[in-house]
């Protein structure tokens, strides 16, 4: 039989050092935010947590603790018979709850009795959230950002990932936000994360960056879908130098048709989204787009949407933000080979840029 070990309290754990990070808060708390990569083994679900809270306020703390203990014990028993049933002898979990108190210690104590080396995060999620805010506020201003700008459909996100494949540092805000940053930019695979979880994901990315090296980031507004870019990072992006990507209209149209197949698969949903542009462009223009969609003339629709809506919006945005332009790279085809070659040109352009142009503000 494995030797019982004491539960160890840790202040600032290295999450990667554990077999698993376990969040014992309720599913609703977990959905709003959690340590990236954590699993949710709740000891009270949402309804049970509300029930215990009601008893605490309306009856007494003592009765609430009795009811809570019964629920927690039953829930931990189910997790032990399912989630933890096949964990090996050297399993090493980190457990946390809201403040690092009763809920986390309830599960941690049982796991330690089995013989596993269990750590509990001191201060729980509340202290973790404070560290996230500190990381965003303190790390972002020190980054040597380079903004990758360009008209819609110039494959900026694909270029970012091609740059990363070459060893460059990148920050993919649209990937973290699960949104491409425009009216038609939603991710068909699922909804955006909650704002707090987006910030957790972003803080993890920032903490892994080397502040002494440049970081490529795509040009964004301060809002990506329903999520807001943290203020410190947004200020840094506004001050950062720019490299602009250009491409012919026909190449951009072809690229977007490859990149947005879900709209061709559901024209009705696309038309509903375009209806939001009536206030800006009028019924006649939106009705024209609807007609092109109904006719299946996708290249004409995308070209017209770009020239009437997206391109003027981009040019207005560029005019509002006077930034240092380090250079421009033109991609004639926007296919895989063109994007790979473009990443090479971008990296070379950055290598030749004067050091003072990349200095943090």
Helix (H) or strand (E) holding 149: strand 144-150
Sheet holding 325-330, edge to edge: 169-171, 214-218, 144-150, 242-246, 325-330
pLDDT for the residue 183 = 82
pLDDT for the residue 358 = 67
Question: What stretches of the chain show up as alpha helix (H) in DSSP?
Answer: 27-32, 46-58, 61-81, 102-114, 124-139, 156-165, 173-177, 195-208, 231-239, 249-259, 261-265, 267-274, 278-294, 298-305, 311-320, 336-352
pLDDT for the residue 360 = 47
Local confidence pLDDT in tens for the 361 residues of the chain: 456 678 999 998 999 999 999 999 999 999 999 999 999 999 999 999 999 999 999 999 999 999 999 999 999 999 999 999 999 999 999 999 999 788 999 999 999 999 999 999 999 999 999 999 999 999 999 999 999 999 999 999 999 999 999 999 999 999 999 998 888 888 888 899 999 999 999 999 999 999 999 999 999 889 999 999 999 999 999 999 999 999 999 999 999 999 889 889 999 999 999 999 999 999 999 999 999 999 999 999 999 999 999 999 888 887 777 778 899 999 999 999 999 999 999 999 999 887 766 664 4
pLDDT for the residue 359 = 60
Domains of the chain (ranges, CATH numbers): 8-122 (3.40.250.10), 138-358 (3.40.50)
d(CA 247, CA 243): 14
Catalytic site includes residue 229: no
Taking Cα atoms as reference points, which of 232, 236, 198 lies closest to residue 214?
236
Tell me how far CA of residue 350 lies from CA of 87, 326, 345, in angstroms. Answer: 48, 8, 9
B/e letters for 268-292, b = 16+ CB within 10 Å, e = fewer, are eebbeebeebeeeeeeebbebbbeb
Tell me which of 97, 163, 251, 329 is the catalytic residue: 97
CB 251 within 8 A of CB 260: no
pLDDT for the residue 323 = 79
Helix (H) or strand (E) holding 119: strand 119-121
Taking Cα atoms as reference points, which of 242, 221, 240 lies closest to residue 145?
240
């Amino acid at each position: 039989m494995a030797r019982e070990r004491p539960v160890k309290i840790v202040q600032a754990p290295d999450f990667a050092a554990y077999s698993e990070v376990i969040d014992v808060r309720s599913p609703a708390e977990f959905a709003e935010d959690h340590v990236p990569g954590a699993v949710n083994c709740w000891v009270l679900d949402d309804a049970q947590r509300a029930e215990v809270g009601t008893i605490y306020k309306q009856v007494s703390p003592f009765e609430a603790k009795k009811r809570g203990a019964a629920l927690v014990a039953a829930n931990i028993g189910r997790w032990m018979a399912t989630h933890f049933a096949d964990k090996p002898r050297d399993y090493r979990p980190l457990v946390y709850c809201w403040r690092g108190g009763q809920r986390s210690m309830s599960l941690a104590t049982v796991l330690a009795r089995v013989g596993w080396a269990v750590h509990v995060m001191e201060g729980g999620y509340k202290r973790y959230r404070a560290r996230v805010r500190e990381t965003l506020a303190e790390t972002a201003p020190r980054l040597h950002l380079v903004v990758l700008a360009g008209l819609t459909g110039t494959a900026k996100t694909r270029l970012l990932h091609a740059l990363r494949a070459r060893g460059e540092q990148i920050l993919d805000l649209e990937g973290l936000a699960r949104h491409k940053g425009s009216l038609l930019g939603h991710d068909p695979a699922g909804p955006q994360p909650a704002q707090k979880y987006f910030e957790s994901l972003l803080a993890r990315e920032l903490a892994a960056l080397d502040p002494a090296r440049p970081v490529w980031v795509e040009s964004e507004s301060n809002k990506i879908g329903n999520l807001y870019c943290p203020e410190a990072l947004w200020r840094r992006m506004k001050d950062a130098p720019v490299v602009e990507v250009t491409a012919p209209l026909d190449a951009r149209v072809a690229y977007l048709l490859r990149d947005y197949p879900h709209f061709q698969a559901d024209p009705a949903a696309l038309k509903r989204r375009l209806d939001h542009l009536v206030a800006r462009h009028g019924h006649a223009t939106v009705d024209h787009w609807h007609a092109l969609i109904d006719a299946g003339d996708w290249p004409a629709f995308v070209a017209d949407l770009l020239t009437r809506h997206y391109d003027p919006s981009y040019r207005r945005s560029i005019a509002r933000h006077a930034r240092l332009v380090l250079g421009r790279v033109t991609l004639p085809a926007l296919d895989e080979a063109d994007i790979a070659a473009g990443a090479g040109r971008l990296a070379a352009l950055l290598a030749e840029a004067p050091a003072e142009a990349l200095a943090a503000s």
